Amino acid sequence: MNFPQSDALNRLPKQFFAGLVQKVNRVIAEGHDVINLGQGNPDQPTPDHIVEALKESAGNPEFHKYSPFQGFSFLKQAISTFYKREYDVDIDPESEVAILFGSKTGLVEITQCLLNPGETVLMPDPGYPDYLSGMAMANVNIEFMPLLEKNAFLPDYSQLSDDILNKAKLMFLNYPNNPTSATATNEFFEQTIEVAKARKICVLHDFAYGAIGFDGEKPRSFLQTEGAKEVGIEMYTLSKTYNMAGWRVGFALGNKSVIKALNLVQDHYYVSLFGAIQKASCEALLGPQDCVNELVARYETRRNAFMDAIHEIGWKADAPKGSFFVWLPVPAGYTSESFADLLLEKAHVMVAPGIGFGKMGEGYVRVGLLNEPDRLVEAAKRIGALNLFKKPVK
């Protein structure tokens, strides 16, 4: 007997990147050495001092019981201390923090928390595809905000109609940006807050790559801008900063009414994270930060090696200012998907087609800096051997 799925599940978007994994696995099964630059999964292990904190805490019988529904106060206090230290932002640990099972969970839940069916949410295009999952579950109307190179991949609010802005209840932003790697300025956040206040729009800033900035520039938190907590929240994850992707630790910060809504929905889904993981997360946030500095330096070394290598083959693009991605234009005559397929089949290099991130992603591919420099340079050389670009004259 087969039971039909709910309408909510049937509205869920297809997982575009699951198809990419299948393509890569097929080429690997044929015996080829594939350099996978299409992933967004950190490739380094969690720092030892965090792992040791988990081992020690796992033996504490107090953590073998159910955790408090909304998380331990010690973790919320550590989050508050972390934000004050890193961004000089004051956070009330009890009313302005929601602990999440990874920030992805919060990103999916937020639309269901704040919008009713048929109401409008603003989504960046291109953008992180999983934003769409929560929107589909909530059955809301989506209006896309184009992220164009001429605007430094920041939305231009003047190009959105009054009708759309007046209907919008929620706006998603993400800087440093996945997939474009763009970063945001204080001036842009000030403009965002002005628009949000005038139109009564809640802003959700996804700060997943907040620790990863290059050339001595630290990415800016949305909450650093005056008035941000009045109009929205920020979501942070330990996945990228501390290579803790599998640990599933994230948190939301900011507007008290939104935090209250997130805590309420999570009361009905979860009984918070395993206490030992929460304790180890405190060690990540409050312990030695050398590991973060070393990680950012590693990504910057990879970025420099890769950008030098692609410029050598004539593939022109600006170096990213943040995140661990590079957003690259495809050569004339190709779509993002046909170009990605060509690189996989002929060069055995996997990149992510821009169309998978939205309509405005067409014409680009995303490269993840999640291999060591020698592999990144090798990938560029393989692509160069296809003679798709005009090499610079020496």
Domain positions in the chain are 7-45+290-384, 48-286
Decide if pLDDT at 333 tops 90: yes
- Average pLDDT value for residue range 360-388: 96
| pLDDT tens by residue, 172-223 | 999 999 999 999 999 999 999 999 999 999 999 999 999 999 999 999 999 9
CA atoms within 13 Å, Cβ hemisphere of 269: 17
Q: Residue 305: what pLDDT?
A: 97
CA torsion angle 65 236 242 38 (round to 10): 120
Residue 236 to residue 249: CA distance in whole angstroms: 9
| pLDDT tens by residue, 242-271 | 999 999 999 999 999 999 999 999 998 888
Amino acid at 272: S
Amino acid at 268: H
| pLDDT tens by residue, 260-315 | 999 999 998 888 899 999 999 999 999 999 999 999 999 999 999 999 999 999 99
Q: Residue 14: what pLDDT?
A: 83
% residues pLDDT > 90 (the chain): 89
Decide if pLDDT at 15 tops 90: no
DSSP 8-state secondary structure symbol assigned to residue 323: S
Identify whether the C-beta of residue 155 lies closer than 8 Å to the C-beta of residue 174.
no
Residue 20: band (very low, low, confident or very high) from pLDDT cuts 50, 70, 90: confident
Kindly report which listed range (26-35, 71-80, 172-181, 376-385) carries the lowest average pLDDT score.
26-35
Residues 205-224 as b or e (16 or more Cβ within 10 Å = b) = bbbbbbbbbbeeeebbbbbe
Q: Residue 390: what pLDDT?
A: 80
Q: At what angle do helices 48-58 and 275-286 cross, to 10 degrees?
A: 150
Strands 120-125 and 97-100: unpaired
| pLDDT tens by residue, 64-101 | 998 988 999 999 999 999 999 999 999 999 999 999 99
For all residues of the chain together, what is the average pLDDT? 94
* CB neighbour class for 167 (10 Å; exposed up to 12, middle 13-18, buried from 19): middle
What architecture is the 7-45+290-384 domain classified under in CATH? Alpha-Beta Complex (3.90)
* CB neighbour class for 98 (10 Å; exposed up to 12, middle 13-18, buried from 19): buried
Render 225-263 in DSSP notation, one character per residue.
STTHHHHEEEEEEHHHHTT-GGG--EEEEE-HHHHHHHH
Residue 347 to residue 42: CA distance in whole angstroms: 23
For residue 18, what is the enclosing H or E element?
helix 16-29
Q: What are phi and psi of 142, to 5 degrees?
A: -110, 130
Q: Which residues pair with 204 in a beta bridge?
A: 172, 233
CA atoms within 13 Å, Cβ hemisphere of 355: 13
Decide if pLDDT at 135 tops 90: yes
Angstrom CA distances, 6 to 11, 82, 136, stand at 9, 41, 12
For residue 36, what is the enclosing H or E element?
strand 35-36
Please indicate whether residue 15 or residue 232 has the higher confidence score (pLDDT). 232
Residue 394: band (very low, low, confident or very high) from pLDDT cuts 50, 70, 90: low
Cβ-proximal residues to 369 (8 Å cutoff; 6+ apart), any chain:
299, 302, 303, 306, 324, 325, 326, 376
Fold of 48-286: Aspartate Aminotransferase; domain 2 (3.40.640)
Q: Residue 16: what pLDDT?
A: 77
List Cβ<8 Å contacts ≥24 apart for 265-269.
265/109, 265/112, 265/113, 266/69, 266/70, 266/98, 266/100, 266/109, 267/69, 267/70, 269/109
* CB neighbour class for 81 (10 Å; exposed up to 12, middle 13-18, buried from 19): middle
Angstrom CA distances, 234 to 17, 125, 203, 251, stand at 26, 19, 8, 8
Report the predicted TM-score, pTM, of the whole model to 2 decimal places. 0.95
Residue 371 to residue 351: CA distance in whole angstroms: 13
Residue 389: band (very low, low, confident or very high) from pLDDT cuts 50, 70, 90: confident
